[in-house]
Amino acid sequence: MNHFLKDKTVLITGASNGLGAELARQVAAQGAHTILTARSTEKLASLTTQIQADFGVISTYHKMDMTNFAEIEEVAGKLANTNIDVLVNCAGFGIFEEAVTTDFGTVERMFDTNVLGLMRLTQLVLPKMLAREAGHIINIASQAGKIATPKSSAYSATKFAVLGYSNALRMEVKTSNIHVTTVNPGPIATNFFDIADASGDYLKNVGFLVLKPEDVAAKTVAIMGKNKREINLPFAMNIISRLYQVMPRVIEFFGKSAFGKK
- For residue 61, what are the β-bridge partners? 36
Please report the pLDDT score of residue 244 as a whole number.
82
Question: What is the rounded CA–CA span in Å between residue 134 and residue 87?
Answer: 12
Average pLDDT for residues 196-202, to the nearest whole number? 54
Residue 248 banded pLDDT, cuts 50, 70, 90: confident
Q: What 8-state DSSP symbol labels residue 211? A: B
Q: Could you tell me the CATH number of the domain that includes residue 176?
A: 3.40.50.720
pTM score, two decimals? Answer: 0.91
Of the residues 61, 155, 165, 244, only one is catalytic, namely: 155
pLDDT at residue 255 above 80? no
Q: How many CA atoms lie less than 13 Å away from 62 in the CB half-sphere? A: 17
Please report the pLDDT score of residue 196 as a whole number.
47
Identify the domain containing residue 11 by its residue range.
3-259
Domains of the chain: total:
1
Yes or no: say if 259 and 209 are a contact pair by the CB < 8 Å rule: no
User: Percentage helix, strand, coil, to 5, in the chain?
Assistant: 55, 15, 30
How many Cβ atoms are within 10 Å of 248's Cβ, its own excluded?
12
Of residues 23 and 250, the one with the higher pLDDT is 23
Q: How many CA atoms lie less than 13 Å away from 230 in the CB half-sphere? A: 18
Question: What is the rounded CA–CA span in Å between residue 190 and residue 113?
Answer: 18
Q: Is 155 annotated in the active site?
A: yes
For residue 19, give the nearest of 211, 152, 197 by alpha carbon: 211
Residue 29: Cβ-neighbour burial (10 angstroms; 0-12, 13-18, 19+): middle
For residue 180, give the nearest of 188, 172, 190, 192 by alpha carbon: 172
pLDDT at residue 85 above 80? yes
Q: What 8-state DSSP symbol labels residue 225? A: T
Residue 201 banded pLDDT, cuts 50, 70, 90: low
Please report the pLDDT score of residue 81 as a whole number.
95
Question: What is the rounded CA–CA span in Å between residue 136 and residue 87?
Answer: 6
Average pLDDT for residues 50-72, to the nearest whole number? 97
DSSP secondary structure letters along 176-195: GTEEEEEEE---BSSTHHHH
Query: 56-60, 93-97, 153-157: lowest mean pLDDT where?
Result: 93-97
Residue 165 CA: distances (Å) to CA of 7, 27, 53, 76, 87:
29, 25, 37, 20, 15
User: Where are any strands of DSSP class E within the chain?
Assistant: 9-12, 33-38, 59-63, 86-89, 135-140, 178-184, 230-232
Of residues 257 and 160, the one with the higher pLDDT is 160
Q: What 8-state DSSP symbol labels residue 174? A: G
Strand order in the sheet with 230-232: 59-63, 33-38, 9-12, 86-89, 135-140, 178-184, 230-232
Please report the pLDDT score of residue 7 as a whole number.
97
Please report the pLDDT score of residue 260 as a whole number.
62
